[in-house]
Chains A and B, each alone.
Chain A
Amino acid sequence: MSLLDIENLKVYFATRAGIVRAVDGVDLNVGIGEVLGLAGESGSGKTTLGYALMRVLPRNAKLDGRIIFEGRDLLSFSATEFNRVRGREIAMVFQGSMNSLNPVVRVEDQVAEPLILHGGLSEDEAKKRARELLAEVGVSEDKAKSYPHELSGGLKQRVAIAMAISTRPKLLIADEPTTALDVVTQAQILRLISELRDRFGLSVIMISHDLSLLSEVCDRLAIMYAGKIVEVGSKVEVVNTPEHPYTQALLASIPSVERVGVDSPSIPGEPPDPINPPSGCRFMPRCAYARSECKEFNGYLYELSSTHRAACVLVGGKPIERVPR
């Protein structure tokens, strides 16, 4: 069952240079207790999509489409109405949020603060609850009394997660939750997020440029390119039988410990200008299989299985033999 249904979501930014189409017609859904991985390169719009769900966007942003959360269209909510959803039902761990902790406040007090202000708890109750929450994310009681600068990056990130889940949200958006962390710590944080899902039935959208990392913890994967979803499917479908040429190229480009001494093939060219994206399929200028039909392609996600969809003319309509250009 779907917790969140995003329909034709668009996020445009008005800038001096023109309109930046950061997110340009995204359809996506997240099930209850599901971990969805949203993968894409820098500038693909994946972080903006996360911000749009939280409705934290700069003033020059324009939102369009529908965000159905538990049957309610969040985009029709007023700012005041949405305040009851943001941080309570949908929470986000921002990229670098571990560095936005207040340096002069003990971490348990920082976790307790919103519980007093918004949760209506007394100071003692809030502190007790904060300690429970910190224990849940693996921050021991003596560490809970520390100041942020006394903690390692991994522990700070755990504190940030504790704050995000303090209201028992139904959906957690984690934007690059492990960048700047060491590989061992990264694995620990990823495990923590999957444990939280198992324990609380939390749904998670995990945003990252690292597809291999996402593939270890996510149930489903969505690949974003130049503001659009180009492929979505179960982890096995996307990793083992990718259908969109971009997904294939992205998967092939990842360095691997299995490939000793071998360069992984890179994706030629640069991502398109978000102000003037190419018409038709936006990946066409970099695609090894590009053909004339691609120019007219409307980005439709063709159904490959009940869960697997890809937006490429090669998978829709009549089957075409693939010959690299």
Chain B
Amino acid sequence: MSAHSTLRRYLGNRKGSLGLAILVVLVFMAVLAPVISPYKATQIDPTAILQPPSPKHLLGTNEVGEDILSLIIWGSRISLLVGFLATFVAVLVGTAVGVVAGYIGGFTDEALMRITDFFLVIPAVVLAIVVAALLGNTLLNVILIIGLLSWPSTARVVRSATLVYKQMPFVEASKCAGAGTAYILRRHILPNVLPLVYANTSLTIANSIFTQAALVFLGVGDINDISWGQILHFAYASGAITAGDYWYAIPPGLMIVVAVLGFALTGYALDEVLNPKLKAGVVFESA
């Protein structure tokens, strides 16, 4: 399957096109934040404290007089950054663990899978709070924590795919020719397993963005970094949510939902396009 035809099939997928459109908008927003945001993020308008939407402040202002729209736009940077970097860590660890466990098998497999299960069942947010308290409340730590909590699903997917490809005659043929384990993993297993990882990656990003927002909302992480979770945190802390100041709470919440949706749709669409076997078999019907 060539890259070209993959792209064409992807764009032919309605979910995929919608997801991709959302992602493009989000990425533009993050990259072009200095250009498109009406104010600097931390610029305070003393004349407008906790004001509802107006022509001057399209989404209103918060309790210190910052423009909500600008905060949302600037906040996309941290949310996406954490999403991408944490996922990078997760995919790296997950793929390595999955391939090694699946291919080597035996005791290694048992041990790695039990560790995976452990990470899969512990409540992520609780662990993240504990770890952040121990290691310090920095952005890098949050990224590492989310990354190290998100790899088990990737590892599971990669392991089961590795088990399938390990059985294929072409792997044995390679062994017969004299290829070593590292070569077989790199040349035969990984290229066939990676399409599954791509689809999984998108879902992991969605999850990471969500987890980051939740952690920041609970006060884990550097509270000075502007992100959607942080906006929500202050909306709650300042009592704006209880006071019914909708313009303060809804936009960041909506952005989180939209971003998660965008990545999730992309993930599902990639899954269908790259892994056509997952779809129901050929549909037959009366002609």
Any A–B CB pair closer than 8 Å: yes
Q: Select one of B282, B283, B287 contacting A55, CB under 8 A.
A: B287
State whether A58 touches B283 (Cβ < 8 A): yes
State whether A59 touches B286 (Cβ < 8 A): no
State whether B286 touches A58 (Cβ < 8 A): no
Residues of B within 8 Å of A62, CB to CB, are: 287
A45-71 contacts to B, CB under 8 A, are 52, 55-59, 61-63
Residues of B within 8 Å of A57, CB to CB, are: 284-285, 287
> Which of chain B's residues has its CB closest to A79's CB?
B286
B244-287 contacts to A, CB under 8 A, are 282-287
CA of A111 to CA of B256, assembled, Å: 53
Q: Select one of A52, A58, A82 contacting B282, CB under 8 A.
A: A58
Residues of B within 8 Å of A55, CB to CB, are: 286-287
State whether A82 touches B283 (Cβ < 8 A): no
CA of A67 to CA of B283, assembled, Å: 23
B285 to chain A, nearest CB (A): 6
Residues of A within 8 Å of B286, CB to CB, are: 55-56, 79, 82-83
Residues of A within 8 Å of B283, CB to CB, are: 58-59
A86 to chain B, nearest CB (A): 8
Residues of A within 8 Å of B284, CB to CB, are: 56-58
Residues of B within 8 Å of A83, CB to CB, are: 286
B192-208 contacts to A, CB under 8 A, are none
A192-234 contacts to B, CB under 8 A, are none
Residues of A within 8 Å of B287, CB to CB, are: 52, 55, 57, 61-63
CA of A19 to CA of B282, assembled, Å: 19
> Which of chain A's residues has its CB closest to B284's CB?
A56
CA of A62 to CA of B287, assembled, Å: 7
Interface hub of B282, B285, B286 (most chain A Cβ within 10 A): B286
Residues of A within 8 Å of B285, CB to CB, are: 56-59, 79
B154 to chain A, nearest CB (A): 30
> Which of chain A's residues has its CB closest to B285's CB?
A59
Task: Convert A26-62 into 0s and 1s, putting 1 for each residue whose CB lies closer than 8 angstroms to a CB of B.
Answer: 0000000000000000000000000010011111011
B281 to chain A, nearest CB (A): 10
CA of A58 to CA of B285, assembled, Å: 6
CA of A57 to CA of B282, assembled, Å: 9
CA of A14 to CA of B283, assembled, Å: 15
> Which of chain B's residues has its CB closest to A57's CB?
B287
CA of A62 to CA of B284, assembled, Å: 13
CA of A62 to CA of B286, assembled, Å: 11
CA of A62 to CA of B285, assembled, Å: 12
> Which of chain B's residues has its CB closest to A11's CB?
B287
B272 to chain A, nearest CB (A): 17
CA of A82 to CA of B283, assembled, Å: 18
Binding site for B on A (CB under 8 A): 52, 55-59, 61-63, 79, 82-83
**A/B interface sample: 8 pairs, CB < 8 A:** A56-B285, A57-B284, A58-B284, A62-B287, A79-B285, A79-B286, A82-B286, A83-B286
What 3 A-B pairs have minimum CB-CB distances, sorted nearest first? A79-B286, A56-B284, A57-B287
